[in-house]
Amino acid sequence: MAFGSDNSDATLHLPRILCLHGGGTNARIFKMQCRAFKYHLGRQFRFIFAEAPFPTKPGPDVTSVYSSYGPFKGWLRPTEDSEDKDLCAAEASMLIQYSINSAIIADNHLGATGKVVGVLGFSQGARLAASLLYNQQHRGERLSLSSRKQPTTSTNWPDFQFAILMAGRGKLVWLMPDIQMPEGATAPLQPKSMPPQLQDDAPSWEGLNINEKLQIPTVHVHGLQDVGLEFHRSMAKRYCAPSSSTVIEWQGDHRVPIKTKDVMLVAEQMTRLAKPQHALRSPSKPTFGGFPRGSLAQTMVQA
């Protein structure tokens, strides 16, 4: 299932943003949560809202407002301890890719022709968005080494220029089961016997060489009242190269920003990174506090 930005022919040619909802919600809910972004960017981008494949319980902040908007979905496959983890991971990867491709194809059938330039995710959706970029980066490295001209069949999603990661945390998910999973990544599984919060860190990534981290541009959007703020900041510093990371912090909790002053800071980054000349950024700039000195990666909103 997928929900396009609207049915107006005026948006069909616009560059597109793939939107990934958080765990325990769905595409319909996320479309409502992103209403401010659609309002301010509706003439610059067309938004595609993908639906996660796995049924799950509603998130703790969902039932108070969206209890009647089920069914609720998640991006990680629930697993029992007795199940074959390799088979489960392969199945989960296939279903995740199917969800993403279905959303884009459905929008194509509506007449959309714009390139899918970016991916925007919230919470678990942000984790998946960062994971898509990481898999894309590894896919590109393998193609370069093998001199193959066509993408591997391991992934079928677009080549994103950037990701907007709202309240993202946790290990990056590996979605190419036919390729050995890098150290520090994890399968797209959610063990039923393990609380989600125990899977949200990856110490083995702390000492990674900067070239092994995510190089594709990312914008990390953190609410300063979010109880998971420490984990969200850690995702930016631990998984992403400093020169390609931008951090925006705003006065809010675990939700999508809706105030114009907060939304516009993110919107400016989306507009900038959608331009072809900003698809890649140099990793050679000196850093300050984990981010490039004098660059937009120091953007911090604490109003």
- Residue among 138, 220, 222, 254 flagged as catalytic: 254
Q: Is 5 one of the catalytic residues? A: no
pLDDT tens across the length of the chain (303 residues): 555 445 478 899 999 999 999 999 999 999 999 999 999 999 999 999 999 999 999 987 888 889 999 999 999 999 998 999 999 999 999 999 999 999 999 999 999 999 999 999 999 999 999 999 999 998 877 655 554 554 444 567 899 999 999 999 988 999 999 998 888 889 999 988 776 555 555 555 665 666 688 999 999 999 999 999 999 999 999 899 999 999 999 999 999 999 999 999 999 999 999 997 554 443 333 222 233 333 334 445 444
> Tens digit of pLDDT for each residue in 92-117?
999 999 999 999 999 999 999 999 99
Structure tokens at 186: 């994890």
Q: Are strands 218-223 and 245-250 parallel, antiparallel or unpaired?
A: parallel
- Residue among 123, 131, 234, 245 flagged as catalytic: 123
> Tens digit of pLDDT for each residue in 40-49?
999 999 999 9
Place of tokens 């050679």: 284
Q: Is 254 one of the catalytic residues? A: yes
CB atoms within 10 A of CB 258: 14
Query: What is the value of pTM for the model shown?
Result: 0.86
- Residue among 5, 131, 138, 226 flagged as catalytic: 226
Which region holds residue 225: left if phi is over 0, alpha if psi is between -120 and 50, else beta?
alpha
Under 8 Å between Cβ of 127 and 71? no
Q: Is 178 one of the catalytic residues? A: no
Under 8 Å between Cβ of 259 and 214? no
**Domain ranges within the chain, ordered by starting residue:** 2-298
Identify the CATH number of the domain defined by range 2-298. Answer: 3.40.50.1820
